[in-house]
Amino acid sequence: MIKPSEKQTTTNNSHSYTTKANAICETVFNLADNDDLAKLVRNSYGTYWDEAWEGRYAYIAYFDEPVPKVFYATTDSDLESLKQRIGKSFKSHLLAMVNPDIKLLNILLCHFPYLQKPLQQYNGNPNPFLDAILAESAGWIAYKYQLENLFMLATKLGNTEAEQFRKNLNAKRIEKITPFLNTPLFNTTLGQILEDRMISEFVALPCYSSAAELFYYLTETDK
């Protein structure tokens, strides 16, 4: 049973989290129209920024005060394409969580805006082996090494083949990955596991640093 004081603390924490999540700004704009936001977008890309993108439209999710912090940014030459790609907003994913969970925040930062399943702890078919292997990503296949390790467990092939399988999956080379999908693994098949457990259509690298920053921002109490 939750004691009254504990219940009040939980309520206050949840309210603080919701307030912080609602304070995140999101906007779509032309890079040529807003120098300040354009600078944030460029800086978020770092050395990967291409000068050819200067005339593009951009989407940015950021916290404005006291020092602007970008949580996600992307660009596109076509405005409608960009809006369609964003779909469900960054903020709405945060607000769908009752409390901040660093595992889910990591997934959000790595896979937004391409999430295909609810950003929550996996609650589908229980499998103690998969649940243990995928514990750091709340039961989902989200990261490159998770996919590669599952592939090697199923096929008994090595790192080189696993990396190629991962690249083929990310590139949607269906004809290249199909021969492996019926391979048995953990009382099911590799293909069924991927269909059930992948949080989006691709796997990525974890965003530990950014997830920690977002978690700290969402849970930091105002002095």
Tens digits of residue pLDDT in 42-92: 999 999 999 999 999 999 999 887 788 899 999 999 999 999 989 889 999
Instruction: Please state whether the peptide bond connecting residue 179 to the residue before it is cis, i.e. omega within 30 degrees of 0.
Output: no
How far is it, in rounded angstroms, from Cα 44 to Cα 67?
A: 14
26 vs 14, 48, 62, CA distance in Å? 22, 22, 7
pLDDT the model gives residue 13: 57
Query: Which segments of the chain have a pLDDT < 70?
Result: 1-15, 221-223
Check if the beta carbon of residue 140 is closer than 8 Å to that of residue 111. no
pLDDT the model gives residue 8: 44
- DSSP for 181-197, please give it: TT-EETTEEHHHHHHHH
pLDDT the model gives residue 3: 54
How far is it, in rounded angstroms, from Cα 38 to Cα 62?
A: 12
Check if the beta carbon of residue 213 is closer than 8 Å to that of residue 69. yes
pLDDT the model gives residue 34: 95
Burial of 199-216, coded b for 16+ CB within 10 Å and e otherwise, reads bbebbbebbeebbebbbe
